[in-house]
Amino acid sequence: MAMIIMASSDKKKQELFDHLSLGEINSGTFYGKWAKPSASKQIASYSPIDGLLLASVTPTSRADYDHAVSFSEKAYLEWVELPPPKRGSIMLKIGQALREAKDDLGMLVTLEAGKTITEGRGEIQEMIDIADFSIGLSRQLEGSVFASERPWHRMMEQYVPVGPIGIISSFNFPSSVWSWNAFIAAVCGDTSIWKPSSKTPLAAIAITKILSKVLETEGVPQIFSLVTGSGEEIGSRMASDRRIKLVSFTGSVNSGKKVSQLVSDRLGKSILELGGNNAAVVSEHADIDIALKGVAFGALATAGQRCTSTRRVIVSNKIYSEFLQRLVRIYKEVSVGDPRSTGVLVGPLIDESATAKFESAISEAMRQGGKLLAGGTRAKIQGLKGHYVKPALIEAKPDMEICKTETFAPILYVFKYRDLEEAVRIHNSVPQGLSSSIFTRDLLESEYFISHRGSDCGIVNVNTGTAGAEIGGAFGGEKDTGGGRESGSDAWKNYMKRQTITINYGKELPLAQGVEFKI
Ligand code: NAD
């Protein structure tokens, strides 16, 4: 039975931890078995809701890291022998286990990452969705057949598994981003080693505990290994490790560049899912109610800590005053507080350092000529020592340097435009290229925006905001966002090697391009 905590209490937290088999000190290393936790060196997981310690985690030692990778290599040799649809049937069980644990895991995400209850559950739902998707995919891993120029020849392309992959994930999606990679890779035949953010290790431990039981019951290899520790230490070790055939990295542009360099140094493969600086264009032809809701959700949900959060809104000068007036009202009225309480839309930032970055970006925006229209200060929430802020709405100029950087906090810059060409120029004038949207009912405008003349992002939306993607399409962005694609569509191909195969079933050996070779 799932348990819901609506108020802070040690007893309720203890019950949740009992359900999820979490202790005060937890091992952060799993490779078919849990490495022994030790009290000597710990990663502390604090709740951003009240700043209190949730539990501690023993990080992975150098020796255990090596065990985890060699274990994953061995597990791969067995797992890869299962036909893909059989792998898919294991994903069915995994999806069932996640459905049963949805409320508990969702609450853990709320406690550890500070998401509202609905967002915490939504994250686990996303894991369930990708598990369901991967079941279908397991019967659709396809190849191609091509016409050969040589008689009695056949040419094909097929995809084969790569081996153990590494998944390094960010704090703001402590569970779903891992599953986008791990579940798709699993039906492709790969095993995986997960290094979660040190800010949210408990979700990773709880998930690994649940799923390892499923794999054990099903009598299949333990394909999901777990390591914990700092990015500089464990993360870079994974990036440099030739045994790890692919590194899927989700995080900031700065960390992603370091990972990408280490992986390229060994000519390895990586998937980079890095920061965004997403904008919504609001045309004079928009349905203003829809646009306001889309922009507000994009900018305020998860306290502006989504890679797809709306950070810039570019508004037509014909509706600018009306739109801004209504947006200011939303900002002034939005409820900031304990994300476990109903009615609260904006929870805390992850930690003090995020709050300091929020404050310094606002000062910088003021210095560069911005005008603060609402919010922009710390928020005091009675009885809670979390990291709460009042989301900031700032009227700005698109060429201000601060508007070109991703501040991982709820700051929304507002710009005015005269025509759509100008809106798109402003839109594309940042180094990042993750998500974008236009609010308009004018077909010509929306077509322009989704064409090559329009948004330069990996995700382009019409009449829905920049945040909140579904798993069915490929997810990822261009430019500094790193070019990676995960989740649905044909993103599975990233977790496999492509082989081109030519078969001669004739009695001669004709050579391509008519080349002669007489012996
Ligand atoms: P971060 O870069 O600080 O950390 C992400 C992960 O990388 C963590 O596990 C961390 O330990 C590890 N890491 C840090 N430095 C490393 C290094 N040198 N080598 C190897 N690993 C290293 O990011 P964060 O603060 O956890 O997350 C927020 C960032 O992630 C934002 O920029 C956000 O836009 C981005 N993000 C992107 C996506 C996407 O799909 N594009 C999704 C979620 C978050």
Residue 145, SS3 per DSSP = strand
CATH dotted code for 11-274+483-498: 3.40.605.10
From residue 277, give the alpha-carbon distance in Å to each of 248, 305, 456. Answer: 21, 11, 12
Which residues make Cβ contacts (< 8 Å) with residue 455, sequence separation at least 6? 424, 427, 428, 436, 438, 449
Mark whether 188 is an active-site residue: no
Whether 406 lines ligand 1, by a CB cut-off of 6 Å, is yes
- Residue 167 Cβ inside 6 Å of ligand 1? The answer reads no
Does 458 contact ligand 1 (Cβ within 6 A)?
A: no
Chain mean position to CA 291: 24
Measured distance CA(478)–CA(458) in Å, rounded: 6
Angle formed at CA 407 by CA 404 and CA 413, multiple of 5 degrees: 60
Cα-to-centroid distance, 235 and ligand 1 (Å): 10
**Residue 106 in contact with ligand 1 by CB distance below 6 A:** no
| Ligand 1 neighbourhood includes 273 CB (under 6 angstroms) | yes
- Closest atom of ligand 1 to CA, residue 195: 9
Distance from residue 63's CA to the centre of ligand 1 (Å): 25
Ligand 1 atom nearest to CA at 238: 20
pLDDT reported for residue 41 = 83
Atom of ligand 1 nearest to the CA of 486: 40
Residue numbers in the chain where pLDDT is lower than 70? 1-8
Task: DSSP for 225-273, please give it.
Answer: EE--S-IIIIIHHHHH-TT--EEEEES-HHHHHHHHHHHHHTT-EEEEE
- Distances from the Cα of 210 to the Cα of 78, 94, 204, 333, angstroms: 21, 9, 10, 40
Centroid of chain to Cα 317: 34
Instruction: Spell out a b/e string for 159-180, using b for 16 or more CB atoms within 10 Å of the CB, else e.
Output: bebbbbbbbbbbbbbbbbbbbb
Give CA separation, 322 vs 178, 242, 300, 419, 505, in Å: 42, 57, 20, 18, 72
The C-alpha atoms of residue 58 and residue 483 are separated, in whole angstroms, by 34
Among the listed residues 112, 123, 273, 406, the single catalytic one is: 273
For ligand 1, say whether the CB of 455 is within 6 Å of any of its atoms: no
Is the minimum distance from the CB of 298 to ligand 1 under 6 angstroms?
no
Ligand 1 mean position to 274 CA, how many Å? Answer: 7
Q: Which residues of 251-260 are buried (b: 16+ CB within 10 A; e: fewer)?
A: bebebbebbb
CA atoms within 13 A on the CB side of 332: 9
* Per-residue model confidence (pLDDT) at position 40: 79
Cα(383)–Cα(186) distance, rounded to whole angstroms? 44
Q: Hey, which of 60, 115, 197 would you mutate to test ligand 1's pocket, going by the most ligand atoms within 8 Å of its Cβ?
A: 197
Nearest Cα neighbor of 165 from 142, 189, 143 is: 189
The verdict on the CB of residue 181 being under 6 Å from ligand 1 is no
Atom number, ligand 1, closest to the C-alpha of residue 307? 34
* Distance, CA of 439 to CA of 296 (rounded, Å): 13
**Res 3: pLDDT:** 41
Closest atom, ligand 1, to C-alpha of 477? 41
Residue 464 in contact with ligand 1 by CB distance below 6 A = no
| CB of 274 sitting under 6 A from ligand 1 | yes
Q: How far apart are CA 115 and CA 467, in angstroms?
A: 15
Counting atoms of ligand 1 from 1, which one is nearest the CA of 239?
20
CA of 286 to the centre of ligand 1 (A): 35
The CATH class of the 278-474 domain is alpha beta
Question: Among 255, 307, 404, 434, which is best to mutate for testing ligand 1, by the most ligand atoms less than 8 A from CB?
Answer: 255
User: Which residue, judged by its Cα, is nearest atom 14 of ligand 1?
Assistant: 231
User: Is the distance from the beta carbon of residue 413 to the nearest atom of ligand 1 less than 6 Å?
Assistant: no
Q: What is the pLDDT of residue 9?
A: 72
Q: Tokens for 411? A: 């700051």
Segments making up each domain of the chain, as ranges = 11-274+483-498, 278-474
419 φ, ψ to 5°?
-135, 170
| 496-504 sheet: strands from edge to edge | 144-146, 153-161, 496-504
Annotated active-site residue in 112, 123, 188, 307: 307
Look at residue 399 in the predicted model and tell me its pLDDT.
96
The reply to whether 457 belongs to the active site is: no
